């Protein structure tokens, strides 16, 4: 008598996730945006001071198209990065919330370029008219963008702690707090409140630098984790 034994085929292992190529956008966008506004600020005359005036004021005047283009290109890169982030981090804590909040930051940059700001701190004119596009710039795009990136960092802190990536969780938390504090200082300064007014532009530039650095390290961290 012959006994036949059925052997089930082994279930193929799930292929490891690969980092999306769009994560590279997260590495490029910060240096590109920073180089853009630093170069413009260095050559912008007519009383513009990087120490006192916001980056958005570079979108005003005959050369304003340069910063408008900077906002648009870098905002698009951030949106592409958020898509790559979502494709790479498919499941688990923060897999949806962090890419979505990063995308809001990118959309805010695009909107800030389309709807230019009103004069701030006497540049390019001492008159400070309140316009509809200036209101949209501040309330519909700039403010939500900064809030979204703050929440992205703090949400990332919780998510990476749950993923047992303690160092990046701590770094995200510290970055979120620093970003929020520097943003508050800059807004107080742009409102003319001392002692922040004399260095409001510096506070804002430090703020966005914290944000760009976090996005770049987030891209690197996710690429390494996926591999």
pLDDT in tens, the chain (227 residues): 444 444 344 444 444 456 789 999 999 999 999 999 999 999 998 889 999 999 999 999 999 999 999 999 999 999 999 999 999 988 888 899 999 999 999 999 999 999 999 999 889 887 778 999 999 999 999 999 999 999 999 999 999 999 888 899 999 999 999 999 999 999 999 999 989 999 999 999 999 999 999 999 999 999 887 77
Residue 32, in any domain of the structure: yes
Residue 7, in any domain of the structure: no
Calpha distance 102→118 (Å, rounded)? 26
Q: How far is CA 55 from the centre of its chain?
A: 14
Residue 30, in any domain of the structure: yes
Calpha distance 9→31 (Å, rounded)? 51
Residue 6, in any domain of the structure: no
Number of domains in the chain: 1
Residue 45, in any domain of the structure: no
pTM score > 0.75 for this model? Answer: yes
Q: What's the confidence (pLDDT) of residue 18?
A: 66
Label each residue of the chain as H, E or C: CCCCCCCCCCCCCCCCCCCCHHHHHHHHHHHHHHHHHHHHHHHCCCCCCCCCCCHHHHHCCCCHHHHHHHHHHHHHHHHHHHHHHHHHCCCCCCCCHHHHHHHHHHHHHHHHHHCCCCCECCECCCCCCCCHHHHHHHHHHHHHHHHHHHHHHHHHHHHHHHCCCHHHHHHHHHHHHHHHHHHHHHHHHHCCCCCCHHHHHHHHHHHHHHHHHHHHHHHHHHHHHHC
Pair of tokens at residue 193: 């409140």
Pair of tokens at residue 215: 């996005």
Residue 189, in any domain of the structure: yes
Identify the domain containing residue 84 by its residue range: 21-39+50-226
Residue 14, in any domain of the structure: no
Calpha distance 141→68 (Å, rounded)? 14
Contacts 24+ apart (CB under 8 A), 117-121: 117/54, 117/56, 117/57, 117/59, 117/60, 117/142, 119/57, 119/60, 120/53, 120/54, 120/56, 120/57, 120/190, 121/52, 121/53, 121/54, 121/57, 121/190, 121/192, 121/197, 121/200
Residue 68, in any domain of the structure: yes
């Amino acid at each position: 008598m012959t006994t036949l034994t059925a052997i089930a085929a082994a279930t193929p292992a799930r292929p490891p996730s690969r980092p999306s190529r769009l994560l590279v956008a997260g590495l490029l966008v910060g240096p590109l945006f920073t180089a853009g506004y630093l170069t413009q600020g260095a050559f912008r005359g007519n009383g513009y001071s990087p120490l006192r005036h916001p980056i958005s004021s570079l979108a005003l005047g005959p050369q304003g198209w340069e910063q408008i283009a900077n906002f648009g290109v870098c905002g698009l890169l951030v949106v592409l990065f958020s898509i790559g982030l979502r494709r790479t981090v498919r499941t688990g804590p923060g897999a949806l919330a962090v890419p979505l909040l990063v995308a809001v930051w990118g959309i805010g940059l695009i909107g800030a370029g389309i709807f230019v700001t009103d004069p701030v701190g006497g540049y390019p004119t001492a008159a400070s008219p309140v316009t509809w596009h200036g209101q949209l710039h501040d309330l519909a795009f700039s403010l939500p963008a900064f809030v979204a990136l703050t929440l992205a960092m703090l949400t990332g802190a919780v998510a990476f702690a749950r993923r047992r990536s303690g160092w990046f969780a701590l770094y995200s938390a510290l970055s979120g707090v620093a970003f929020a504090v520097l943003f508050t200082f800059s807004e107080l300064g742009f409102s003319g409140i001392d002692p922040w007014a004399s260095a409001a532009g510096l506070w804002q530039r430090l703020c966005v630098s914290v944000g760009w650095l976090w996005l770049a390290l987030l891209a690197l961290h996710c690429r390494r984790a996926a591999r």
